Amino acid sequence: MQQVNLGMIGGGTVGSGVFHALQLNGALLALRIGVPVAVRKVAVKAFNEPRPYEIPRSLMTTDWREVVNDPEVHIVSELAGGTTLAREIILSALRLGKPVITANKALLSAHGEELFAATKEHGANLYYEASVCGGIPIIKSLREGFVGNRITALYGIVNGTCNYILTRMKLEGADFGAVLADAQRQGYAETPPDLDIDGWDSQHKIGILASLSHGFWVRPEDIYVEGIRHISALDIKFADELGYTIKLLGIIKMAESGKRKEKSSCRVQVSVYPTLVPNAHVLAGVNHVFNAVFVRGDIVGDTLFYGRGAGKDATASAVLSDLADAALDLKFVSKHRVPPFVPHECDGAVLPIEAVVSSYFVRLNVVDKPGVLAKIAAVFGESRIGISSVIQPEGHEGASVPLIFMLHHATNGAVAGALKKIGRLSVVKGQPVMLRVETFE
Ligand code: HSE
């Protein structure tokens, strides 16, 4: 192959970032992979839409079909976003046997299985490094770097917006609402912010990483998700006093594995929730918009990936990595050397959250009188939940005072049941706050 031509769908922030990165490092990339890559056409929403980097007018069209159907376009990149038209674009390109690069985690989360089936049917690959954690090469690492490992645990700070908000809440002692409003003013959080702060963006990413780690397609509806809306400055402060930092963690953890009926089987925790991380753990120090993924393999042990999870340049870096792979696969006619997803765990399943075992931080607002602690401790005792410490922070006096419990390992089901009973006690005011604690054992 003399030259590989890229047809781009999407010329906005990410698309123009890719164009710019290719201008900057295209020659280097060509030297490294042994074949030049050129942008042939770019389909845009509007010629004059605001974009951080220029794209020559001569390359632009507003008709995506013109790009996909161009016989001189060998690889298509879908960087437009959304789940309806993007799906149609990708399927159209795959039907023509053209490999596709996408950054679209929402689309993969919703239609991954259909798109992967189409790659098989039409003999064209789908590359999606940019869909999870922007510039961090986590897809390639899981699929290729750790191909010889069972991934026993993966913990990810995969949403920069939430990490930015939680970092500022901790540093400034500020409340969620005030930091969110300021983050929106400064362009660090979207308006509306729900996709990020309610955990859905993390759900998309963790679902992709869980599927790759465990070899069965993890459906978004099977992932337990809690966002960060309910995190208060008080919880962040008390957690810190106890030696913890609250992070929104995606957690993928093998709960059990074994041989059943001649088939391998595994039950995996796949969840997204605000978690107390020990201050001494490396993930506690991942701050502001940065992402990090901590991967534990049974052979390799503990590994850590850190970097920018979003933004035009970080995402462009991931797209160029896919572009290099796609160009090499075309050059060496090895279309399925690394298929997008290989199901290999025939009996895998996501563990329901009620059965997931964790440790806990519980904050109650209680009436300040003798006997209250005993009443609450009795409920935990009846539920066979061990208390590892109890703190009534100094300096809180009045009709009701905070009472913090740290609980030993117990199932989420058992703790939810106990908290329901505790919430009904007349000495407890308002709803109990429960956050999970990760020990990384
Ligand atoms: N909105 C995401 C974040 C980036 O805040 O990390 C795109 O997935």
User: How sure is the predictor about 347, in pLDDT bands with cuts at 50, 70 and 90?
Assistant: confident
pLDDT at 393: 84
Residue nearest to atom 4 of ligand 1 (CA): 310
Is the pLDDT at 301 greater than 70? The verdict is yes
Compute the mean pLDDT over every residue in the chain, rounded to the nearest whole number.
Answer: 95
If you measure from the C-alpha of residue 35 to the centroid of ligand 1, how many angstroms do you get, rounded to a whole number? 33
Checking if the pLDDT of 15 tops 90, the result is: yes
Tell how many helices (H) and how many strands (E) occur in the chain: 13, 17
Q: How confident is the model at residue 156 (pLDDT cuts 50, 70, 90)?
A: very high
The mean pLDDT value for 272-288 works out to: 98
pLDDT of residue 264: 57
Dihedrals φ, ψ of 248, to 5°?
-80, 110
- The pLDDT value recorded for residue 335 is 82
> Among the listed ranges 80-84, 316-320, 392-396, which one has the minimum average pLDDT value?
392-396
- Whether 259 is a known active-site residue: answer no
pLDDT category at 411 given cuts 50, 70, 90 is very high
> pLDDT per residue over 165-215, tens digit each?
999 999 999 999 999 999 999 999 999 999 999 999 999 999 999 999 999
Question: Nearest CA to 51 among 89, 18, 90?
Answer: 18
Report pLDDT for 145. 98
Question: Which domains are delineated in the chain?
Answer: 4-135+312-331 (3.40.50.720), 144-308 (3.30.360.10), 353-437 (3.30.70.260)
| Closest of 332, 337, 334 to residue 1, by C-alpha | 332
Q: Which residue has the higher pLDDT, 264 or 54?
A: 54
Cα(309) to centroid of ligand 1, in Å? 7
Q: Which residues form the pocket of ligand 1, taking CB atoms under 6 Å from any ligand atom?
A: 159-161, 196, 201, 309-310
Structure confidence at residue 394 (pLDDT): 79
pLDDT of residue 399: 79
Shortest-distance atom of ligand 1 to CA 190: 1
Across 302-332, b (16+ Cβ under 10 Å) vs e yields eeebbbbbbbbbbbbbbbbbbbbbbbbbbee
pLDDT digits (tens, 9 = 90+) for 16-46: 999 999 999 999 999 999 999 999 999 999 9
The separation between the first and the last C-alpha atoms of the chain, rounded to the nearest angstrom, is 50
Cβ(40)–Cβ(9) below 8 Å? no
Structural element, H or E, at residue 324: helix 312-331
Atom of ligand 1 nearest to the CA of 205: 8
Cα 108 to the center of its chain, rounded Å: 13
Q: Is the pLDDT of residue 312 over 80?
A: yes
Q: Are 236 and 168 in contact (CB under 8 A)?
A: no
Asked if residue 349 has pLDDT above 70, the reply is yes
Taking CA atoms, 126 is separated from 16, 18, 136, 341, in Å, by 21, 17, 18, 9
Q: Which pLDDT score, from 0 to 100, does residue 263 have?
A: 56
Nearest ligand 1 atom, CA 201 = 8
Mean pLDDT of 122-146: 97
pLDDT in tens, 353-370: 999 999 999 999 999 999
Reported as a single tens digit per residue, the pLDDT across 222-278 is 999 999 999 999 999 999 999 999 999 999 999 865 455 555 568 999 999 999 999
Is residue 325 pLDDT above 70, yes or no?
A: yes
**For position 257, what pLDDT does the model report?**
55
**205, 247, 253, 312: the active-site residue:** 205
Per-residue confidence band for 1, with pLDDT thresholds at 50, 70 and 90? confident
Instruction: Give bridge partners of residue 428 from the DSSP assignment.
Output: 366
Mean pLDDT of 287-316: 97
From 138, 159, 209, 287, the mutation candidate for ligand 1 (largest count of ligand atoms within 8 A of CB) is: 159
Task: State the distance from the centre of ligand 1 to the C-alpha of 132, rounded, in angstroms.
Answer: 9
Distance 311 CA to ligand 1 centre (A): 8
pLDDT attached to residue 256: 66
The predicted pLDDT at position 285 comes to 98
What is the average pLDDT across 66-74? 98
